[in-house]
Structure 1
Amino acid sequence: MQAKAFSKAQDMNPDNATGLTAEAICKILSKGPSSRVEESLSNISVEVSPELVIEVLKKLSNAGILALLFFRWAEKQKGFKYSMESYNALIEALGKIKQFKMVWNLVNDMKHKKLLTKDTFALVARRYARARKVKEAVETFEKMEKFGMKLEVSDFNRLIDILSKSRCIENAQELFDKMKKRRFAPDVKSYTILLEGWGQQQNLLKLNEVYWEMKDEGFEPDIVTYGIIISAHCKARKYDAAIEFYHELEAKNLRPTPHIFCTLINGLGSDRRLDEALKYFEKFKASGFAPEVPTYNAVVGAYCWSMKMREAYKMIDEMKKCGVGPNSRTFDIILHHLIKAHKTKEAFAVFQRMSSDSSCEPAVSTYEIIVRMFCNVERVDMAIRVWDQMRVKGVLPGMHMFSTLINALRLENRLDDACKYFQEMLDVGIRPPGPMFSNLKQALLDGGREDTAKILSQKVDKIRKTPIIG
């Protein structure tokens, strides 16, 4: 079967062949324990191109240990070349499981191979920020100078953007206030980043403070600024205020962007103001912009909020005619609304149609939605069926998906199966969330399986305390 997959890949055009080969490699890796990666891959006959390595590492972004082991195997193969992209993809996967010591080893490797750029530091800083290690994220920014790179205002903007997008806007604001006094002169982008951060937190008071400070410093709001302000008011469900800002930018002869139309359609649609949402969709089309997926997805969502599913499906047909999708996000939106309306059968039918359509295959987020749906209605058998279908496709689940299935199995007292998936989670290098493991451990103890609980505890302690070396 594996040989067939690789043979088929060789007969296709290069891009498709790379994707198919990467999928086949991920299937092999996902079937066996991480300790046998070299053995599992030893029988495949494939030239390890830089493109293939990057593709596999991206697919393994939720499985840091497997990503590292694959990278170490790939290094020894014919055709392998080190690249900034492959290192960054590996750093991303390891950063997700907080293996920062190994991450810095890779950064040093990149320096020696002259592959290190500011993008890598941004990647490391983002993983620290997502792990709520703000001090380390800032130190990563400072370390760039030690690696021979000159710090500029664009780098400072990148750092506050990383903090802001990692829900650390207070830290971003504090850093901004400190840096502008002694190190960097902020530009309009610095302010728009902060505006976006406070907008994400729906803190319109702080957003207005930054807005007026920006104007006091001589920076006039541009179309990007207006887009952020409109988005912030939509997030805070202040739709009439958002519309006022839209009229203000029109009065200044600024041309609304597709993003602004998309934001208003999303916001008004979620407030079940469907007619107004569709009015902005017509304005978008009349503005001469090329059709694009996010705006059409917003319209699909607007119909779904008003439970006009037939119109939502018609919009998908229109997307196909315009050559802009649909994509997995389109179907995720529809599935979310069907499940919320307790239309489980219709949701699964949509998922099955999607699975059989090679032009729009389910993403890991789609599988997660369906697995959670079946777990919530106590159909764990169907959840496992979908899970197995996902694994056959070479799609690797993330932490939340593992947790959903393991919790559902525990609640059904299927502890052997729960432990099996828990072990699989550890094998791919995902650290289990504390509450999920505590509940599983307690269920084992309640069932008189102290030995199993002890073994799992030891394994979890080991993965938490032992840094990866490779």
Structure 2
Amino acid sequence: MEAMAVNPSRIPLQTPPQIIIPSLSQVPIQQSQPPPQYPTYLENPDVTPSARILCEVLTKASPQEVETALSSTGIVPVPEIVEEVLKLSYGFPAACVKFFRWAGMNQKHSPYAWNLMVDLLGKNRHFEQMWDAIRSMKQEGVLSVATFVSVFGSYCSADRLNEAVMTFDVMDRYGVTPNVVAVNSLLSAICREDNQTMKALEFFERIKTRISPDADSFAILLEGWEKEGNVAKAKNTFGEMVIRVGWSPENMSAYDAFLTTLVRGSQMNETIKFLQVMKGKNCLPGLKFFSNALDILIKQNDSAHAVLLWDIMVGSGLVPNVIMYNAIIGLLCNNNDIDNAFRFLDGMVFHGAFPDSLAYNMIFQCLIKNKKVREAGRFFFEMIKNEWPPTHSNCAAAITMFFDDDNPELAIEIWDYMIKNHVLPLEESANALLIGLSNMDRLSELRRFTENILDRRIDIHESTMTKMKTAFYKEGRSARDAYDSLSRKWKSS
């Protein structure tokens, strides 16, 4: 059964001398559930032979036989081995307590081993035994801020935030002076939990008059507000940060979190304003922020602000990569902003990000979708000149568009290009070609292409054959005979 909640402020400051190490085993520990989720010696190929033997004892021996089995190994538990075994045995707290007691009978434990024991007990939610260890550490004179950082994390992950805060409040009673590192560690532990940044802020507001926060303190809170999407609180925290610690490029993680909160909150006008201020302070965020912000704007389908964001980024000397270029070109094409899409395509080479097939095909698709016939024709030739072939689906759509615009020659040229350059599959484009020729009553070409398509064993749809039949049958007997011959060949193919 899990130990009852512990109020750290009521823990006695003095521990009777007789329970320095044995105190860890005074209260029986049941194996916690659901561990083991921690690394074990079975998963680590670099375990030393001695540590492996001791780990096997802890995992396989019965609780009554652990210490006897450990002694029978003949292994001297030097500090390095003790630390290694503890790190690999988090899923076996009861056995670890016995191991720790056995190892401590011959020599003093290192401060790191003590901290591992505190962390192990805390992670397994054995808080009574964890505090036994802390009291023993106090007598040994090995307590440190790191010990309490571990306790903060264990309590917070167990959803016992109040006890984490009380632990901070009693640090000095255990001879450890709380500092900004401890403050930030507690803030971080609280903010890692879902929707608890307000709790972290309450602690921050109370402690900041006693221990001055640093940039990391604000960064932790800002990352919490980012996770929760709280734009208003993020603005307040950021404003206080600027007043207290000023501007510095070293505070970039805080700036990134704040700006990302604004972007996700659709506060793009505010984001642009802050970016302009940051640029003047030489504190503009790096490419990672702009890449993440661009992803968010794409999900929001906000091409206008994406262009503004991009111009600030490039104007500050940051060099976007091909992936980022393709992302914004895709966003612009999705919003039918052809002019800007071409501007970005032309600008790629100036930043060493050479256009690829994806960039060309997104623009080609946009031109086709918007019936930009002349532009699409010119762009098709630019694509094949630069050796970036259009996709088979774009080819099919272009063939249909050019036939609709009474430009069968260009439609046929695209088909011929597909055949020559093996742009596969051909079925969609083949049917588009035959339908286009049928609609224009170009029967001699229709017959020739149909025979060629059948010879290539490309599937012609029944609906396409119906259109062809209409075109042939209205032209008299010889045309009907020609269609019937094609139809027999189609049925037998």
TM range, smaller chain: 0.3 to 0.5
* Larger relative contact order (CA 8 Å, sep ≥ 6): 1
Normalising by structure 1, we get a TM-score of: 0.46
Normalising by structure 2, we get a TM-score of: 0.44
**Structure of larger gyration radius:** 2
